[in-house]
Structure formats: structure tokens, C-alpha cells
Amino acid sequence: MAKIIPFKAVRPTRSKVGLVASRSYDSYTLDERDSRMSYNPYSFLHIINPGFKYDQKLTGEERYRLVRNRYLEFKEDEVFIQDDKPSFYVYRIEDRFDQVFNGIIAASSALDYEKDIIKKHEDTLEKKEKLFKTYLKTVGFNAEPVLLTYPDNAVIKDIIIETQDAFPEYEFTMTYRDTHYLWKIEDETKIQAIQKEFETINTIYIADGHHRSASSYLMSKDDLANEKKSYNFFMSYLIPESDLRIHEFNRLIKDLNGLTKEEFLIQLDSIFRIENRGELPYHPSKAHHFSMYLDGEFYSLYLRKTIYKFENELEKLDAQVLYKTILKPILGIDDLRNDERIKYIHSRNEAVTLKTEIDSGNFKIGFGMVSATIHQMKAIADAGLKMPPKSTYIEPKLRSGLTIYEY
């Protein structure tokens, strides 16, 4: 039984929402951030990068306190307003690739995270969890929802469609040519109907935001949770599984771990059927087929299934196959999170970026694969297993500052 509740969101005014909303902080290059903050005083980036005002790089709790100050200034200047009534928020994204995402922004239960009703498929770093918990407690708000996915539900879908018949609170297009819409659901009957349907759902899955949900759970275990009921929930964007889009991350490696090209290919031959495709790009089309780019040539790699054993759902995942057969035993990359010899690029940029990075000499070799499926992600989570880092690039990518959940 998944529990979600409405909340009184703090939101940008209608006239400024397109200026306030931003992509996640880490998705910008330094030059992009500086440019946007220089010409747009309303960007949410000013809140999460408060040192820009003083031309200083701030870290730790000093930065957190100034984030809080910038946030309060946006409220004082009435760039942000708070809704009078607890609401659910229907959020629709139409991106430049003609993909459409429809879901509900709500507050999800931290207890559901503890009880494994909200399931995880990725590992989290304890240090990062604690840092973000401190951040949330200091700034007093969360501005980017955790992306959760649930089995398609006809009742919830009908309520979303009916809500979208009305004039939206927001309709704006970003410079990336994605258009965003937001509607409020304040009607008690509809709120209760949505809650009732989620109570029939035994499991929902984290698609993106594992550290944010883990940090929120840590806050719920804090002594203050008894006094601040808001600590027991965290902001989430819940979308049906059919709306979720999963892409792959491809891998770039700086060297061949001391091997010559010929020595490397010979070791590879015992595990894969290898075909040199020359300069013609090769994109794998099925599971356990991989692409490889090395010394200006593309290769196809087909896993020899008599050699590799699929012992569980995780072992069937191509990111795990690549790690177990090439990255760790041949190229010597054990720590996929921290080894500086490996870089991940998502498949949106795969064709150009992979070839350019290797041809320029920044990296020696690159690997591509097909994307994981929602069924794999769920099966791995259900088995209590964890994917390797950067196994999935999941869409939609949400905007910060569109709705804010205060603690």
C-alpha cells in the first residue's frame, strides 16, 4: 500500500516560472551556469549557487546557510508564492523528441522507503546521503522531486486526463525546446480517489533520485521527525511505467591496462565473437551484443553464452556483463564509481561524443550497449540486488524550482 499525500507547494509566480525553472545543477557546464546566472536574475541557479553573488566558491554548511538566505529572498520578493490548500500537481512534459510524460507531483512516505514499498535498484553512498540530509535540514526545502514509477492505472490516468482539460497553472517552453505544463488538484474527492488507487499498489520504484530519497528517509528517522511531520514525507513525481524512458550509458576507458591492441583483442576473443566493422558505426540492437570503438574502427561483440552464466537477474544486465567480462578482469577497473580511467556518456550523445573523445586521444576505447528495460530494473529491485552505477539514463529529466516542498 503506497501512501502519498497532497502538500502546499511553494511555486514561482506564473509570470516568472519560465525564468526560475532550471535543469539540475550538475547538468550545466561552469560556463553555462555563469552565463545563465549573469543574464537571468530569477534563475533557481542563484539559490543553489549563492556564492555567485560574491564571486566565491562556497562549500559545506556555509553554502547551505546562504542557499537558505537566497531562497528566503525569492519568497520576500514574491518570486515564490505558497499555495493555500494542500494539492496534488499534474505535471506534463513534452520534449523536443516528441516524447510526452504525464504524472503527479505529491509527497511520498519515507516509511514506504523503509518498508521496501518504494524499491531501489541502485546503491547509494552513505557519505553523500548524510551530506544531503544536512543540506535539507539546513535549507529547509527540497526543490527537485524524486522520480518514482508505478504500474499503469486506469483510474489515475483518467483523473490526469480530466485535469488537463482545464487551463493550466503553467505553460512554458525552455531553451532546450521542452514544454512544461502544471495543473493543481485541490478537489478533495479527486485527491481521495488518487490516494485510494495508490493504496492498492503494493510496490513503486525509484527511477531517479536514490540519494535524495535515502537522505529524506534519514531525516524521517531524526528526533525532530516527531515534531515536524513534513520530515516523514518527500516530494516525488510519480509517472506510470509506460511513460518512463530508459536509455543506456556508454563507457569510455582511458587505456588498455598495459595491453597492446592485439593482446587485448585476443583476450576478448575467448568471451565474445568479434567482427571488425571498419569506420561504419555499429549500434547493437539486442541484449548481450555490444559495440566497441578502438583505433578508429568499430567492432561488434557478441557474448559467448556458453562461457558466461546468468545466475540471477543482475547477471543478465548488459552493464553488469560488460563489467564482469571486460572492465574488471581485462581492463582492471574495479571501482566503477571512483576510477578516473572510466567516463560515462548517455546514449543521447553517443555517436558523436564517443568517437570524438577517442579520436582526440582523451580516451583509448569505448563500449556501447542496448538500454535496460523497465522489467529488468524491477526484477533487479525485487530481488534486492543493485545495478552498477550509470546503468540507466532515465527520462523525464525534471526541472528544479517548479514546485518546492518545505520541511
Whether residues 160 and 15 share a domain: the answer is yes
Same domain, 144 and 284: no
Query: Within 13 A of 292's CA, how many CA atoms are on the CB side?
Result: 26
The chain-wide mean pLDDT, for the chain, equals: 93
Residues 174 and 270 both lie in one domain: no
Q: Are residues 305 and 352 in the same domain?
A: yes
- Assess whether 217 and 253 both reside in one domain: no
Q: pLDDT value at position 338? A: 84
In this prediction, residue 228 carries a pLDDT of 74
194 and 279 part of one domain: no
Contact 357, 252 (CB under 8 A): yes
User: Could you tell me if 353 and 236 lie in one domain?
Assistant: no
Q: In 3D, which of 242, 308, 234 has the Cα closest to residue 270?
A: 308
Both 30 and 133 in a single domain?
A: yes
pLDDT score of 226: 63
For residues 12 and 160, membership in a common domain is answered with yes
> How much of the chain exceeds pLDDT 90, in percent?
76
> In the predicted model, what is the mean pLDDT of residues 103-120?
96
User: Which range marks the domain in which residue 236 is found?
Assistant: 4-244+395-406
pLDDT of residue 389: 86
**Nearest residue to 141 via CA among 80, 59, 52:** 80
The alpha helices in 22-59, defined as continuous H runs, are 30-39, 45-48
Q: What is the pLDDT of residues 289-336, one digit of tens each?
A: 999 999 999 999 999 988 888 989 999 999 999 999 999 999 999 998
> Could you read off the pLDDT of 373-392 as tens digits, one per residue?
999 999 999 999 999 888 99
Determine the Cα angle at 223 with ends 217 and 224, to 5°.
85
| 274/382 same-domain check | yes
What is the per-residue pLDDT across 188-207, written as a single tens digit (0 to 9) for each?
999 999 999 999 999 999 99
Q: How do residues 89-107 score in pLDDT, each as one tens digit?
A: 999 999 988 899 999 999 9
Indicate whether 50 pLDDT > 60: yes
**Closest to 290 (Cα-Cα) out of 387, 373, 366, 389:** 366
Q: At residue 25, does pLDDT exceed 90? A: no
Helices (H), 49-204: 60-76, 110-114, 126-139, 154-163, 188-199
DSSP letters, 222-263, are: SGGGGT-GGGGEEEEEEEEGGG-EEEPEEEEES--TT--HHH
Residues 197 and 272 in one domain: no
Domain count, the chain: 2
pLDDT of residue 227 exceeding 90: no
10 is written with which cell numbers? 511553494
Per-residue confidence (pLDDT) for residue 68, from 0 to 100: 96
The CATH number assigned to the domain holding 268 equals 3.30.1760
Shared domain for 23 and 161, answered yes or no, is yes
Q: Give the model's pLDDT for residue 123.
A: 79
